[in-house]
A and B are shown apart, each in its own frame.
Chain A
Amino acid sequence: MSRMEFNVPGRASKVLEELYKDMERRIESSPFGLCPIDMSRAFLEMCHAQSCGKCAPCRIGLGQLKNLMDDVLEGRANMETLEIIKETAETVMDTADCAIGYEAANMVYKGVVGFRDEYISHIETGKCTCNYKQPVPCVSLCPAGVDIPGYIALIREGRYADAVRLIRKDNPFPTTCGYICEHPCEARCRRNIIDDAVNIRGLKRMATEFAGYVEPPKCEPSTGKRVAIVGGGPGGLSAAYYLQLMGHQTTVFEIHEGLGGMLRYGIPNYRLPKDKLDNDIQAILDTGVEIKYGLRIGKDIEIDTLRKEYDAVLITIGASTDKKLGIEGEDATGVVSAVSFLREAGCGGGMDLTGKEVCVVGGGNVSMDAVRTAMRKGAKKVSIIYRRRIADMTALREEIDSAAEEGIEMMTLKAPSKIEKNEDGSVKGLWVTPQMISAIKGGRASVKPSGEEEFMVPCDVLIVAIGQDIETKAFAEAGVPISDRNLIQSNNAGTFENVPGVFAGGDCATGPATVIRAIAAAKVLAHNVDEYLGYNHIITCDVDVPSTNTDDRKPCGRVNMNLRPAGERKCDFEGVEEPMTLAECNQEANRCLRCDHFGFGSFKGGRAIEW
């Protein structure tokens, strides 16, 4: 027998590795409303099984913690029990010999502090007050509450126009969202327990693609009420759509010459082709929305005038200006905000970058839009300057990957310190301070100067993409409350205490967010305006959702959208994402587990048929 042998994993350890993966995916798709104590007790039991058993605090302590938590869960505990749990956890945290022990105890400790109220409630009532509320994970994570299992079932049956109709009940931008929604719905998709989340956004795109133009539903009889909507972005237009359906006449005031706000002037054509956006907007306009272009509040028209002329006024101006870096030399020519850079590019114009070197500061989605647009504008070299690591960027992973594929340089761990100007006042380069990654604070890795020398990154154009701001001045002057964070300060209902008949919501009230959040806000606004006007209209959809099928849910890979080759796509502004084939679409639609029916759905109802 040889003294050394290859280490070949046995069958048991192979299966165990598989189980670890199963468990990871399961935790990722954990349902809502679980008892935090029961869950952390279950985690603790797993941690205890990982113990090597050498040191006493881990071997015995974790087990005793589990017993104490059982007492809480079974209604046998008192406040002293909670104290013993805390003290025991502290002992194991501070004395266990390795991370298996002390981090397991730390999880218990975090709970004792973090959900102390739940512990006390268990102890006092002897019961758990948690329960499942929304049984369908995708629907509960969609800010607009779109009936996702419903429209996927319709796609599965090839009823694409009906799918679009069903989506529009909660979201009048199905095409747009099919392209660029950040799809929070997919995060806890139960399909993940089997293999991978359903490609919900992709399916929505395919529904709109196969359906073509779908007429909006008929509006309710006219109420004779008129509503002014300031801002023709996704929020304003969504509110206009629902208010029209309710029978009110809306007028949208838009300062630009096109509708869609950031969808038209922020998101590049290659991500959201404008003819696709127009498809959504056409259906919205077909409900009878009036548009007045080119009027700026405070200059061409006053809020007070709108209040006099209309029965209600809605402010949905979004977040259309930029945030400044606040460093020396920011006034140099060639330093532009991502917002204005993308807006000009979106209008088909903007600066010619042929042969130029471009730096973009920031790591969010807007930054990715800016670098990829700069590349398409002919820049010789485009770099992202970012303080942290790629892993810390807030942009969607696929956006970062796409940018990298298109040849964008990622200069990470570089903090901008000042901007160097040429003699003519134009930008020469960006000085950066090298950073090193450091302690995790608030769940996110922080950075600190690495001590290396500062250096200058030469550039001809510097694009700042570190956030958006809101143009609140004219509204402040009209008496609309503005918060310290420069947000329009409406309450959760979109109303103001002392300004009756005026409503605000979306990015301008909550800060820059996503399209689907703006749409969700628009639903709230439309409902509350309707109520303010003395009505109680219901938005619903007469499409019946197909019953479920009884197919086995065998593991099957997720269909991802293909991208055009990077070398080709980076040269034009045409859409980068290719559609699914019909076969892919059908297969993907069939992966949906129909949580509206199976599991808690059939008990507590998986569907809100109206709002």
Chain B
Amino acid sequence: MVNLTIDNIQVSVPEGTTIMEAAAQVGVDIPKLCFLKEINEIGACRVCVVEVEGKDKLIASCNNVVEEGMVVYTNSAKVRKHRKTIVRLILSHHDCNCSSCVRNQNCALQTIAKDLNILMVPYKKEISDNNWDRSFPLIKEASKCIDCMRCINVCEKVQAMNVWDLLGTGSRTQVSVSGNRVIRDADCALCGQCITHCPVGALRERDDTTDVWHAIEDETKVTVVQVAPAVRTAWAENYELDEAHSTMGHMADALKRIGFDYVFDTTFSADLTIMEEGTEFISRFTSGDTADMPMFTSCCPGWLRMLKAKYPNLVGRLSTAKSPQQMFGAVIKSFFAEKIGVKPENIVTVSIMPCVAKKEESTMELFHEEYAGHDVDIVLTTRELNRMMATAHIAPESLEKIQCDDIMHDITGAGVIFGASGGVMEAALRSAHYLITGQNPDPETFKDVRSTREVEGYKEAEYHIGDAVVKAAVVSGLGNAEKLIEKCLAHEVHYDFVEVMACPGGCVGGGGQPIHDGEELATPRGAKLYELDRNEKYRFSHENPDVQKLYENYFEKPNSHKSHMLLHTSHKVEGF
């Protein structure tokens, strides 16, 4: 143990502890900007500098370790003076039009500037030019970038996509798309992890709320919205609502008040996906198709983009099932359109997703009878939903729990857990068990594929279902996924079925979720989904009454000709 004092408080910490960690142990929260635990500990912004007795130079507390007998001051006159100057310098390179910034009131730089009581910046303003393809779902505002390097490191170390890098040297050094590429050519998976780890408003999703407002305002259009399972865990994080008042039902009320004509829960089509994908898996598994390489899940578009960019020859290993978002869109524009007697071209399908890549996935084409268009017309992130609610000045505490609309109303716990890493696999195995043996297993049978904590590498499990042995693996985070694929290709491991989610922890940790600087919330959000699963009336996708009715009345059976036309896709190496 190393003994030291921090702000006159004695502290004893293990060797190798950083000064910042040691300070946190005694309740001293050292201001920081670029620091991201285990991802970006590089001492770049210098906001976290502290004074150590006997030393002239201030020391970055984020990546320097404690020494025996150290006397540390985190708030001395010298520290306050230098910290203020540093933040002023950073502000001189930052477009401070906070009132028109997506991160207004949720910005680490704004907070630190406020905390340091900075009322003026004595330096010349030097703002980088914004030069960006604004049709792309990921937007970088160079004028707001503070070159903290978090995006570079999260993309490299967690996602292994290396989209970002530091370009140029000297005074012109700045974070940009690596290799001097433009973003569209950079094989970006659109996972959005760089957005949720950006301390300021330099990275954001393309804002599509205006298009949604226009659709709502257009009286000739019927607007139909669906909400992904993971959204219910996070949409109310910025409101002072307890769990009982922040349910899917409350969110449905908000969507109705915003003006949507129909509100549905994507959990319904998650169940539909299980019927299609599960049936497909059993057919591929029993025919020996998975003897060499596994069948991969296809519901995560970030993962699909990564696979297509890095392993295009493995595209055939993907399930042909569309994602729940796309399936729902297809059902709305076919079956549902017929039911309500509206032409599909007069329906605008909107989805609320915890995801940025879904915005690009929705460009997938749909052809249904005379209709040619898209399953889903507009995709919003959880954050955009929050912004629409604010624009509509909906008081969160006034929301009431309402039901989603009928005929595609029922959901199961199996569909709910789609939002967490391991959930798709678990839901599929629950129904696969039924499809193979004709009997339902205990719904908790497959819970060891769950990611109930931060994912380290990946999880694997082997199940005896009837006479069959299914080897399954679950992985989240694209860096982990790449390692898993390499192992499969090297034949070091073999699996029949692999679930991949691009974001660490799955959709609950998605790049479209609300941002809480320095916090990783995938685990608690995932736990909420499993809690919901436990309390659902139905816990098997094949038991969903509305899904059963959909097959009876429309698709006939899973993997039928009609479902292949509407619910499956042939994956293209480029695009969706």
Contact surface of A with B, Cβ cutoff 8 Å:
33-35, 38-39, 42, 73, 125, 127-132, 547-554, 597-598, 602-603
Contact = CB atoms under 8 A, between A and B. Distances in A.
Contacts of B43: 598, 602
Interface in B25-84: 41-44, 52, 55-57, 59, 63-65, 67
B130 to A, nearest CB: 14
Contacts of B166: 131-132, 603
Given A550-B55, A552-B55, A603-B149, A131 B64 contact: no
Contacts of B176: 127
Given A33-B169, A550-B52, A551-B55, A602 B65 contact: no
Contacts of A34: 169-170
16 contacts: A35-B168, A39-B170, A127-B180, A129-B180, A130-B168, A131-B166, A131-B169, A547-B16, A549-B67, A550-B59, A550-B64, A552-B55, A598-B43, A602-B42, A602-B43, A603-B153
Contact of B169 (A132, A548, A603): A132
A76 to B, nearest CB: 11
Nearest to B43: A602
A125 B176 CA distance: 13
Nearest to B16: A547
Contacts of B114: none
**6 nearest CB pairs, A to B:** A128-B168, A603-B42, A35-B169, A547-B65, A550-B59, A602-B42
B172 interface: yes
Nearest to A41: B170
A548 B44 contact: no
Contacts of A132: 166, 169
Contacts of B149: 603
Nearest to B15: A547
Contacts of B171: 38
B165 interface: yes
A129 B171 CA distance: 14
A42 B63 CA distance: 32
B182 to A, nearest CB: 11
Contacts of A131: 165-169
A597 B63 contact: yes
Interface in B159-178: 165-172, 176
B170 A35 contact: yes
A154 to B, nearest CB: 16
A602 B56 CA distance: 22
Contacts of A33: 169
Given A547-B16, A550-B67, A602-B41, A127 B167 contact: yes
Contact of A128 (B63, B165, B172): B172
A552 B43 CA distance: 17
Contacts of B153: 603
Interface in B136-172: 149, 153, 165-172
A598 B180 CA distance: 26
A195 to B, nearest CB: 16
A33 B165 CA distance: 15
Given A125-B180, A127-B180, A552 B57 contact: yes
Contacts of A552: 55-57
Nearest to A599: B43
B168 A548 contact: no
Contacts of A598: 43
Given A125-B180, A127-B167, A602-B42, A548 B172 contact: no
Contacts of B42: 602-603
Contacts of B64: 547-548, 550
Contacts of B41: 602
Contacts of B165: 131
Interface in B341-396: none
B374 to A, nearest CB: 35
A133 to B, nearest CB: 11
A460 B487 CA distance: 72
A584 B168 CA distance: 40
A38 B170 contact: yes
A550 B67 CA distance: 9
Contacts of A551: 55
A127 B168 contact: yes
Nearest to A548: B64
Contacts of A553: 57
B350 to A, nearest CB: 38
B74 to A, nearest CB: 14
A132 to B, nearest CB: 7
A130 B169 contact: yes
Contacts of A597: 63
Nearest to B65: A547
Contacts of B170: 34-35, 38-39, 42
A73 B59 contact: no
Contacts of B55: 550-552
B455 to A, nearest CB: 23
Interface string B217-230: 00000000000000
Nearest to B170: A38
A603 B175 CA distance: 13
B248 to A, nearest CB: 42
A38 B165 CA distance: 19
